[in-house]
Amino acid sequence: MNRGLVIVDMQNDYFPGGKMELFGIKAAAENAAALLTEFRKSKRPVIHIQHISLAPNASYFLPGTEGAQLNARVSPKEGETVIVKNYPNSFRNTSLSEILRRMGIDHLVICGAMSHMCIDATTRAAFDLGFNCAVAEDACATKDLFFNGNTIKAPEVHAVFMAALSYPYARVGSTKEIIKEMA
């Protein structure tokens, strides 16, 4: 099994002071950083995904802004791949699949933001493309959602999406469990 780490949209706008702070983002970033450290130590490939909004009414991840930059807690080192995307699915209109195949990656460890949007879309697409996936659930974050006059709290949103991904799309586990499996 040849593993690669895909860190999705860990960008400044999702952190305190950003344009769309997510619930639990600091803890998620700490866990993503632990995965990043482990992948670097074992010299396994790391892919950073950066969303740049192109929609005319977009309010965050705007081109050229500090908010669109990858957060320092999980910033790429020289030689690590950064893929810019414009859609929730990290594979859509990007070279992600080709890069992973060229690297010989068949198993992805996925983390980042938002659980209900880009993590969900990217994991499902990866599965459909034939990759084995693991999602580090405690290295992902999301926000409250609103539907039919109801507020669905971020922890519930996160839990529902992790449960939905847990079969057949991915093995969903903690950062510690995933790191232990890599040993």
pLDDT tens digits, one per residue of 74-89: 999 999 999 999 999 9
What is the residue-averaged pLDDT of the chain? Answer: 97
Ranking 29-38, 52-61, 118-127, 130-139 by mean pLDDT, the lowest is: 52-61
Distance, in Å, from the CA atom of 74 to the CA atom of 29, rounded to the nearest integer, reads: 7
Q: Mind listing the pLDDT tens digit for each residue in 134-182? A: 999 999 999 999 999 999 999 999 999 999 999 999 999 999 999 999 8
φ and ψ at residue 3, rounded to 5 degrees: -95, 145
Distance, in Å, from the CA atom of 34 to the CA atom of 74, rounded to the nearest integer, reads: 9
**What does each C-alpha distance from 159 to 100, 120, 154, 164 come to in angstroms?**
28, 12, 8, 9
- Going along the chain from its start, the domains and CATH numbers come out as 3-182 (3.40.50.850)
Distance, in Å, from the CA atom of 40 to the CA atom of 38, rounded to the nearest integer, reads: 5
pLDDT at 1 over 80: no
Percent pLDDT > 70 in the chain is 100
Q: How many CB atoms lie within 10 A of CB 124?
A: 17
Roughly how many angstroms between the first and final C-alpha of the chain, as a whole number? 12
Of 126, 85, 124, which is closest to residue 105 (Cα–Cα)? 126
Angle CA(104)–CA(97)–CA(31) in degrees, nearest 5? 80
